[in-house]
């Protein structure tokens, strides 16, 4: 059984996008004979790399899935946050030799687009399971 860590960025200014993504992540783990053994909530997507690193260090975690939503604002700040989070998570994966999957939706999307992409929580977990299984062989 694959054991996963889950990082959930709680920033969602207009609704239940994160809640739905997290629910989908837990369902995907159960449906694919995996278990989420630890979960860390962080304020926003920018904060996810440190939490992912803490989970990736644990010997009981095979892979980490990261969830978040970056909604467009009036400036390009969403692009900065998205780029920083993606690069930070890539660094964690390579530094820890542990799969870290990117289930952060956005940047550059509206609230409606975010609501249409809540399935990315489940997708990030399935990808983490696949990577952990493949790399274990």
Contact between 129 and 34 (Cβ < 8 Å): yes
Helix 120-136 and helix 17-31: axis angle, to 10°? 40
How big is the chain, counted in residues?
137
**Bridge partners for 2 per DSSP:** 34
Q: What is the dihedral of CA 24, 109, 69, 78, to 10 degrees?
A: 160
Tell me the catalytic residues: 77
70, two tokens: 């970056």
3-state secondary structure (DSSP) of residue 45: helix
Among the listed residues 71, 78, 82, 76, the one whose alpha carbon sits nearest the alpha carbon of residue 12: 71
For 61, the token pair is 């975690």
């Amino acid at each position: 059984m694959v054991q996963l860590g889950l990082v959930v960025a709680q920033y969602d200014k207009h609704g239940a996008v994160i809640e739905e993504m997290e629910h989908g992540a837990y369902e995907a783990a159960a449906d694919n004979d995996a278990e989420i053994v630890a979960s860390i909530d962080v304020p926003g997507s920018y904060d996810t790399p440190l939490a992912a690193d803490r989970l990736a260090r644990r010997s009981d975690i095979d892979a980490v899935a990261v969830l978040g939503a970056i909604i467009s604002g009036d400036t390009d700040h969403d692009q900065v946050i998205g780029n920083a989070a993606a690069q930070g998570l890539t660094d964690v994966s390579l530094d820890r030799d542990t799969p870290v999957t990117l289930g952060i939706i956005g940047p550059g999307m509206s609230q409606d687009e975010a609501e249409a992409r809540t399935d990315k929580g489940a997708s990030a977990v399935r990808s983490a399971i696949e990577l952990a299984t493949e790399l274990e062989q």
